[in-house]
Each structure stands twice: as structure tokens, then as C-alpha cells.
């Protein structure tokens, strides 16, 4: 059984962004590939504020794969959560999936996250003034922190950024999937099947992608959701690691009450818009949404955590429908102190239970992906 805490430390000491690395004793290596993204057509007034962020448009993404592997017939895409600034916690996840399935595992950053964001957004020295201003403005809000102040300020200024970031990432994934499935990626054969392991907001993005199914690229993809899958309205992103309460309340108000109801030409209403629109409020187009998830239920699985207050289980039921949720999502409660943001706390006093929970979850995901 993998010692999660030890392996977490080892991988974080070995991993260097942009530098190909072999993982001793694992038969795996990490390779990096460059990606060029394009701005959203809906950027409008925000374009001048975002287009200068070069990191968001030209970046590297890592792939864990068997050492010296030839082109593969199958791949796994791993999508992360909101407001992540590094790949740290996902390195053991990607390694475990690669070991258990023998497939390359692609870690793809969401727009304006990880290495797609300026370093200033995660540098406490650069954020001190902004943090002090925000603390004064929202006096008494204990959710304001160095970790979330950059995202919180951006969302408070313009909640549209949440949709635009997701939309740009959706477009990027469509490009990536097409590149892989057409045999233009050096790691994969033409026709390669791509399954998705998605955590938190990455699961929401994946649900939208499968529903929109641009160019039929996601027609056979399986989706395993961990701490994800909720309808938007039931998510609670107030966290010192995600966003403060002022930003979250602004975002919820905008998407629940106003998004899609603005002037007619504000948004390009394609399949991605329609899919996102269905995932905001449980009552909106409920029959269509639940029928879709029922139809693809054999391509969905996942684990929700009982003490997850960010992506609650009842929100997953609202998104998928009760019957589908009960058949494909397993509700668990790990026997150690965990949170949504840190489901596998490496400093846990109960290392045995931590190792078992980690092993069981990724064994379950790997088995799901390997089923025909």
C-alpha cells in the first residue's frame, strides 16, 4: 500500500514545472507539452485586462506516463479545483492513476490557475496591500486570506470571469481532445479514448463538456468525479483557500439571478452556454438535464464525501437526479479529519486510514476506467 504522506513529499521534491523527470522505482516519467490558448470571443470589455496575462495563453502541462512508452490508445485527463496555485496535491493522484491503469495521465490547468496565472497572484508580498484593503472593506469577514484574495478581488470586480475562465478552458479541452483523437499529439494514436478524473470545479467543467459534446469529441469519455458534480446553486465556495464570502455571494447572485438574462447579445449562446445554463439552478430545464445524465449513467461514477461543505452531496443529487446519483455516486466519510480542500491531509495522525482511503478511491477510479 502506498504511503501517501511520504510519496506526497517525494513527488513534490522531484517535480519541477517544465522539466521532464523520471520517477525512480515507479517506471514512470513526467513530460511537459506546450499549449497555446485563444481568448474567448465574449471577452468584450474584459479583454484588455486579460489578454496581457501571457501565462494564461502560452503554458506547459505535465503528463505522467509509463517510462519510454510508445503511442497510447487511451488517456486520462485530470482536472483540478478552483483557486489552485500549484500541482502539489495532484501529483500523487496522477501517479497513482498512471500506475494502476498504465495510461498517460494529463494534468491540464484551468484558465488563470496554477502556471496559467501570474506569480504575483500567489506571492504574499505582492498581495499585502490588496489584502489589507479587502479586510478593511469587508471588516469581520474571517474568510479573507492571502490564499484567496486575488481570486476574490477578480470575482468581486467582475463575476463574469468565472464563466469566461471556464469557457476558455472548455475551448482548450476541445482543442486538446481533437489534437489527441486525430493523432496529432506525439503521445497518442489516432482514435485515442480520453477519460476524465475530475475534482471539485473540474467536475462541473467536465459535466458541461460532456453535455455540450463539441464536435462529438466527448461521446465515449468516462467521467469519474471526486468531491464534485453539484448543481451550481448548491456549491459553497466560501473558504480561506477558495474565495471570501463577499466574492462568493457576488458570484452566486450574478449567476443565479442575472446570468443569461442580460442584453440579448451579451453571450454567444452555443452548446457550451446552454449546458452551463442548465447546471446553475436545479429547477431550470431539470427534465432535460436529468435525462442526459440518466442516458450516460454508465459513463459516470464518483465519490462524494459526507463532510464536504463546498460540494455537498445534495447538490450532486440536484444536478444528476436522485436515481442516477444513487446508482453512480458513492457517499463516503473518511475516518480522519479531512476537508473538501484537503481530502488527504498528509499530516493526519491516522496514516493507516489515510493510506487506505487514498488507495481505495484511486483503485475504484482505475477499475471504472478499465471497464468496457
DSSP state letters, 32-90: EEEEE----TT-GGGHHHHTT-GGGTEEEEEEEEETT---EEEEEEEE--TT---SGGG
Distances from the Cα of 75 to the Cα of 15, 176, 197, 198, 366, angstroms: 21, 12, 11, 14, 12
Instruction: Judge whether 181 and 191 are in contact, CB under 8 Å.
Output: yes
| Model pLDDT, residue 70 | 86
Cβ-based neighbours of 6, under 8 Å, separated by 6 or more: none
CA-nearest of 71, 63, 59, 60 to 106 is 63
Domain hosting residue 362, numbered range: 4-370
| Model pLDDT, residue 14 | 97
| Model pLDDT, residue 339 | 97
33 beta partners? 61
Whichever domain contains 166, its CATH number is: 3.40.50.1820
CA dihedral angle for residue 305, residue 310, residue 316, residue 318, rounded to 10 degrees: 140
Based on the structure, what is the number of domains in the chain? 1
Strands (E), the chain: 21-23, 28-36, 58-66, 72-79, 105-107, 188-199, 223-226, 300-305, 329-332
Instruction: Judge whether 24 and 18 are in contact, CB under 8 Å.
Output: no
| Model pLDDT, residue 44 | 52
Digit-by-digit pLDDT tens for the chain (372 residues) are 679 999 999 999 999 999 999 999 999 999 999 999 988 765 554 555 565 789 999 999 999 999 988 899 999 999 999 999 999 999 999 999 999 999 999 999 999 999 999 999 988 899 999 999 999 999 989 999 999 999 999 999 999 999 999 999 999 999 999 999 999 999 999 999 999 999 999 999 999 999 999 999 999 999 999 999 999 999 999 999 999 999 999 999 999 999 988 766 678 889 999 999 999 999 999 999 999 999 999 999 999 999 999 999 999 999 999 999 999 999 999 999 999 999 999 999 999 999 999 999 999 999 999 986
Q: What is the DSSP letter of 109?
A: P
| Model pLDDT, residue 267 | 87
Cβ-based neighbours of 18, under 8 Å, separated by 6 or more: 32, 60
Instruction: Judge whether 135 and 226 are in contact, CB under 8 Å.
Output: no
How many CB atoms are located within 10 Å of the residue 254 CB? 17
Q: Which three cell numbers stand for residue 42?
A: 465574449
Instruction: Judge whether 189 and 71 are in contact, CB under 8 Å.
Output: yes
Query: Rounded distance, CA 37 to CA 226, Å?
Result: 27
| Model pLDDT, residue 262 | 76
Amino acid at each position: 500500500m502506498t504511503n501517501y504522506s511520504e510519496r506526497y513529499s517525494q513527488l513534490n521534491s522531484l517535480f519541477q514545472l517544465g522539466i521532464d523527470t523520471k520517477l525512480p522505482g515507479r517506471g514512470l516519467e513526467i513530460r511537459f507539452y506546450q499549449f497555446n490558448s485563444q481568448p474567448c470571443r465574449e471577452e468584450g470589455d474584459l479583454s484588455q485586462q486579460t489578454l496581457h496575462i501571457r501565462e494564461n495563453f502560452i503554458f506547459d502541462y505535465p503528463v505522467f506516463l509509463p517510462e519510454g512508452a510508445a503511442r497510447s490508445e487511451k488517456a486520462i485527463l485530470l482536472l483540478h479545483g478552483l483557486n489552485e496555485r500549484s500541482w502539489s496535491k495532484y501529483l500523487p493522484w496522477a501517479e497513482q492513476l498512471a500506475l494502476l491503469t498504465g495510461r498517460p495521465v494529463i494534468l491540464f490547468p484551468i484558465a488563470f490557475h496554477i502556471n496559467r496565472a501570474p506569480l504575483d497572484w500567489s506571492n504574499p508580498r505582492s498581495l499585502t496591500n490588496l489584502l489589507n484593503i479587502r479586510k478593511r472593506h469587508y471588516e469581520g469577514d474571517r474568510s479573507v486570506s492571502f490564499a484567496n484574495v486575488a481570486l476574490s478581488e477578480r470575482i468581486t470586480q467582475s463575476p463574469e470571469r468565472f464563466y469566461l475562465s471556464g469557457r476558455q478552458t472548455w475551448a482548450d479541452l476541445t482543442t486538446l481532445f481533437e489534437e489527441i483523437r486525430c493523432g496529432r499529439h506525439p503521445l497518442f494514436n489516432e482514435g485515442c479514448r480520453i477519460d476524465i478524473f475530475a475534482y471539485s470545479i473540474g467536475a462541473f467543467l467536465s459535466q458541461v463538456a460532456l453535455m455540450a459534446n463539441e464536435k462529438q469529441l466527448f461521446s465515449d469519455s468516462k467521467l469519474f468525479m471526486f468531491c464534485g458534480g453539484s448543481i451550481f446553486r448548491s456549491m459553497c465556495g466560501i473558504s480561506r483557500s477558495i474565495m471570501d464570502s463577499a466574492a462568493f455571494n457576488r458570484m452566486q447572485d450574478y449567476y443565479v439571478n442575472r446570468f443569461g438574462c442580460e442584453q440579448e447579445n451579451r453571450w454567444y449562446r452555443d452548446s457550451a452556454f446552454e449546458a452551463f445554463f442548465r447546471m446553475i439552478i436545479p429547477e431550470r430545464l431539470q427534465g432535460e438535464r436529468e435525462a442526459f445524465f440518466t442516458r450516460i449513467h454508465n459513463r459516470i461514477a464518483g465519490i462524494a464525501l459526507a463532510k464536504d461543505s463546498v460540494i455537498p452531496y445534495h447538490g450532486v443529487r440536484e444536478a444528476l437526479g436522485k436515481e442516477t446519483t444513487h446508482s453512480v455516486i458513492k457517499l463516503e466519510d473518511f475516518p480522519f479529519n479531512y476537508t473538501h480542500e484537503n481530502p488527504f491531509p498528509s499530516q493526519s495522525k491516522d496514516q493507516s486510514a489515510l493510506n487506505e482511503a487514498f488507495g481505495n478511491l484511486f483503485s475504484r477510479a482505475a477499475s471504472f476506467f478499465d471497464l468496457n
